[in-house]
Amino acid sequence: MNQQPDQTHPDDVYSMVIVSNRLPVDYDEQPDGTPGWKTSPGGLVTALEPIMRAADGAWVGWAGVADREFAPFENDGISIVPVPLSEDEIQEYYEGFSNDTLWPLYHDVIAPPTYHREWWDAYVRVNRRFAEAAARAADEGATVWVQDYQLQLVPKMLRETRPDLVIGFFNHIPFPAYGIYSQLPWRRQVIEGLLGADVIGFQRQADAGNFQRAVRRLYGYTTRGAVVEVPEGDDVRRVIARHFPISIDAEGFEQLARRPDVQARAKEIREGLGNPKTVMLGVDRLDYTKGIRHRLKAFGELLRDGRLSVSDASLVQVASPSRERVETYRQLRDEIELTVGRLNGDYSTISHQAIAYLHHGYPREEMAALYLAADVMLVTALRDGMNLVAKEYVASRFDEDGVLVLSEFAGAADELRQSVLVNPHDIEGLKDAMVAAAEMPRKERARRMRALRRRVRDYDVARWSADFLETLTGNATIRPGVRDDLGRALARLAATERLLVALDFDGTLAPHVDVPDDARASDGAKRSIERLLEAKDTAVAYVSGRAIDSLRHVSDPHDDVLLAGSHGVELQFAGGEGALDLHETEIADLHALSKILDEVVDSAPGAWVERKPAGLALHTRKLSTSAGEKAQRAARTKVKQELPELTLREGKNVLEFAVRSSTKGDAIARLRQHTGATAVLYVGDDVTDEDGFAALEPGDVGVKVGQGRTFARYRVRGTDDVDRLLEMLAELRAAR
């Protein structure tokens, strides 16, 4: 406990601000009135703490007590900016709307949500206070990362007052299917609040899908892959909504578990339990989403049926106190404590207790010791955003022992596939899984644990935040070369049955040049592409915004390369010319468009028009920023007035109007279908390549070349690195 926090200046501003309902520390006054701070409960704080300690940012949040104002201060290397809440606000915004309306609703109505208009009013009011506090703490152009369901309105509020900010949002709990979400009387306002962010992160792919469906149903906005197109005046703002599964400081947990004192404590715990053959463990906040009742029921029946006996098996259940003034939580506590009392009364002996029930919150050291002491970890949540306990158990087991029984309804189940997966509603299935886990042979335990540990180590919390923030800001420094994680992704791709390698041309295979006709791919890249084409079941495609003739001219493609020009309007699959028959109305529109753009170019020296089979592109690369913007504005307005049906696409210093529309995403879909690819690599550098990344599916790999916002999973710095990447893939594919 930190007793005397160092004060910081209230006017300090930061380039990175985290906003969450809870601060990493709660105010904790001693009975004698001594002020102090203690670690806050829950996985959100566990995950964000190591990131904030490494970053020079501020953490804006509530200090966990009513009616107290605290000046900003420094705690354990983190700048803390407390936001006050009154007693009424805690009841209406936190216990009410957050934890008695949104929490049950978003967890698939396991408990009935309560809807009160006064709670909603308090939610709006408190969200505004958080938004104001974040705006005060944020420097010009800063990144503000808003956390969780308690603060869904903050992104929009921030965008309205501080359009200079880059705004991210991460939802730590599930996002429900529309049939459930639509119950919420304020369903439109919440979606609108979230869409104020640039990137909205979810735990699971299914959560992001549910959110996108809600956006389409309630607002009718277009979504392409991970991108939601939000209309703003004449423009469209692209919001990325995608999954970023949260994780833990895996290395830190392993180090903790390796400490001799922690191992000694683990031994002591087992001894204290009478050294049973099998120690089973559950660690949860006392919450109805965690499936504690189902776990106790299964354990009790196993004892009743004699499939387990108290001398052989003990269950340790940590149920840390949570939201104790909310009625559903009070009832749950009563029920659980009644059940534990009954089971212990029925089955415990003088020397062996059936269930060791602990209604406390423990520090990390004790958690690690408990994990080491447990042969079987029981995570039986009925719904859970992620469940970090499951990942912590795996990270602690450096001895490659222990079995994780994991509910398929916890977010962690998407990643931890080698656990024993269970449906906790199926009590018979759960009982069988618990017995199988207790009896699993050592070899099988080690095999599963090794695979689980690889996943948790590879995708730790640093990687989670880096992925999110790189997507959000695109500012992360990109190291030259091909990073290890991308190397591993290429190895996975190379092992697929039918591979499609789809590549953008300008800025990806060929460096950008002033004269478009001069763009050329390097000899190295061409050699790798030839090697790829020689490999069995491997197709290569160039996917470009250029007209297909121009693409053919600059890329001088091998006969077997598939071509997609004009963003996929023109396709050439089997050698020869790509043909495109325009309808009469399309030809007429093209003439009218040509007239408008020629006029714009006449009054903007340095601009030029590129002619494409189904459209025209206005290039302004050689103009100053303001002259370029002016020319683009003029073109946009005139075309909108006279040819409102045309599609518009924006690239770097280029505005492209088309009479027939296609995106690089459509091109990828056609190419995938044509080649029957079982996995796709797509590499691109421009904003139009985002449509290509959006069309990727699980198992595919997207690589963004250079800086800029993206929802490609990987990045490389420039075309040299693309050459290296292709060389590696060609080698791997040939060796297959």
Ligand X SMILES: O=P(O)(O)OC[C@H]1O[C@H](O[C@H]2O[C@H](CO)[C@@H](O)[C@H](O)[C@H]2O)[C@H](O)[C@@H](O)[C@@H]1O
Ligand Y SMILES: O=c1ccn([C@@H]2O[C@H](COP(=O)(O)OP(=O)(O)O)[C@@H](O)[C@H]2O)c(=O)[nH]1
Q: Contact residues for ligand X (CB under 6 A)?
A: 21-22, 41-44, 47, 148, 172-173, 246, 322-323, 384-388
Backbone angles phi, psi at 659, to 5 degrees: -85, -20
Smallest gap from residue 408 Cβ to ligand X (A): 14
558 within 8 A of 530, measured Cβ to Cβ: yes
Say which entry of ligand Y, ligand X, none residue 367 contacts (CB below 5 to 8 A, set by partner kind): ligand Y
Rounded to whole angstroms, the Cα distance separating 196 from 239 reads 8
Segment interacting with ligand Y (CB under 6 A) among 43-51, 227-235, 565-573, 579-587 = 43-51
Give the DSSP H or E segment for 412.
none
Does 42 engage in binding with ligand Y (CB under 6 A)? yes
Q: Token pair of 431, please? A: 């009982």
CB of 172 to ligand X, least distance (A): 3
Least CB distance from residue 211 to ligand X, whole Å? 16
Burial class (CB in 10 A: 0-12, 13-18, 19+), 58: buried
In the list ligand Y, ligand X, none, the entry touching 148 (Cβ below 5 to 8 angstroms by class) is: ligand X
List Cα–Cα distances, 530 to 353, 356, 461, 538, 557, in angstroms. Answer: 69, 65, 39, 11, 10
- Quick check: 675 and 209 in contact, CB under 8 A? no
Judged by CB, which is closer to ligand X: 225, or 245?
245
- Report the C-alpha gap between 501 and 541 in whole angstroms: 6
Q: Which of ligand Y, ligand X, none is residue 246 near (CB under 5 to 8 Å by kind)?
A: ligand X
Q: Do 51 and 16 form a contact (C-beta atoms < 8 A)?
A: no
Tell the smallest beta-carbon distance from residue 331 to ligand X (Å).
Answer: 17
Chain residue whose CB lies nearest ligand X: 42
Residue 529 C-beta: closest distance to ligand X, Å: 42
Q: 691 in helix, strand or coil? A: helix
Beta-carbon contacts of residue 32 (< 8 Å; ≥ 6 apart): none
**Distance from C-alpha of 584 to C-alpha of 327, rounded to nearest angstrom:** 69
Distance of closest approach, residue 735 Cβ to ligand Y, in angstroms: 41
Q: How far is the CB of 274 from ligand Y (least distance, A)?
A: 23
Q: Which two tokens stand for residue 540?
A: 């290569």
Please, what is the minimum distance in Å from the beta carbon of residue 319 to ligand Y? 9
Closest listed residue to residue 323, CA positions, set 118, 147, 117, 111: 111
Binding to ligand Y in span 45-84, by CB under 6 A: 46
Residue 684: phi, psi to the nearest 5? -160, 165
Per partner kind, with CB cut-offs from 5 to 8 A, the member of ligand X, ligand Y, none near residue 708 is none
Residue with smaller CB distance to ligand X, 79 or 387: 387
From the list ligand Y, ligand X, none, pick the one residue 375 interacts with, judged by a Cβ distance below 5 to 8 Å according to partner type: none
Contact between 92 and ligand Y per CB under 6 A: no
Strand ranges of the sheet holding 714-716, from the earlier edge strand across to the other edge: 570-572, 562-565, 538-543, 499-503, 679-684, 701-705, 714-716
Size of the site for ligand Y (CB under 6 A): 17
Show contacts with ligand Y in window 625-664 (CB under 6 A).
none
Q: Residue 294 Cβ, how far from ligand X at the closest point, in Å?
A: 17
Q: Which does 215 bind (CB under 5 to 8 A by kind): ligand Y, ligand X, none?
A: none
Nearer to ligand X, 290 or 672 (CB): 290
Beta-bridge partner residues of 705: 716
Of 157, 184, 310, 318, the one binding ligand Y by CB under 6 A: 318
Q: Which residues pair with 376 in a beta bridge?
A: 280, 403
Name the residue type at position 555.
S
Q: Which stretch binds ligand Y (CB under 6 A): 36-44, 64-72, 233-241, 450-458?
A: 36-44
Residue nearer to ligand Y on the CB measure, 246 or 563: 246
Closer CB to ligand X, 284 or 689, in the complex: 284
In 83-136 the beta strands, taken as DSSP E runs, fall at none
Q: Where does this chain touch ligand Y (CB under 6 A) — which range of 39-47, 267-275, 340-348, 618-626?
A: 39-47
226, 241 Cβ separation under 8 angstroms: yes
Please give the Cα distance from 526 to 614 (Å, whole number): 29
Distance in Å, CB of 201 to ligand Y, minimum: 15
Is residue 108 within the footprint of ligand Y (CB under 6 A)? no
Let me know the angle formed at the C-alpha of 684 by 683 and 687, rounded to the nearest 5 degrees: 145
Residue 198: name the closest of 153, 177, 168, 231 by CA. Answer: 168
Which residues 6+ apart lie within 8 Å of 584 measured at CB? none
Which span sits near ligand Y by CB under 6 A: 81-89, 301-309, 386-394, 476-484? Answer: 386-394
Stretch that binds ligand Y, among 296-304, 357-365, 678-686, 726-734 (CB under 6 A): 357-365
Q: Does 150 participate in binding ligand Y (rule CB under 6 A)? A: no
Out of 156, 243, 285, 567, name the contact with ligand Y by CB under 6 A.
285
Q: Phi/psi of residue 609, each to 5°?
A: -110, 130
320 binds, among ligand X, ligand Y, none (CB under 5 to 8 A by kind): ligand Y
Name which of ligand X, ligand Y, none residue 323 binds, using a CB cut-off of 5 to 8 Å depending on partner kind.
ligand X
| Residue nearest ligand Y (C-beta atom) | 43
Q: Which residue, 162 or 295, is less far from ligand X as judged by CB?
A: 295
Q: Is the Cβ–Cβ distance between 543 and 562 less than 8 Å?
A: no
Q: Which of 151, 601 has the CB closer to ligand X? A: 151
Instruction: Map tokens 């052989």 to a residue.
Output: 312
- List contacts with ligand Y (CB under 6 A): 42-44, 46, 283, 285, 318, 320, 361-362, 364, 367, 386-389, 392
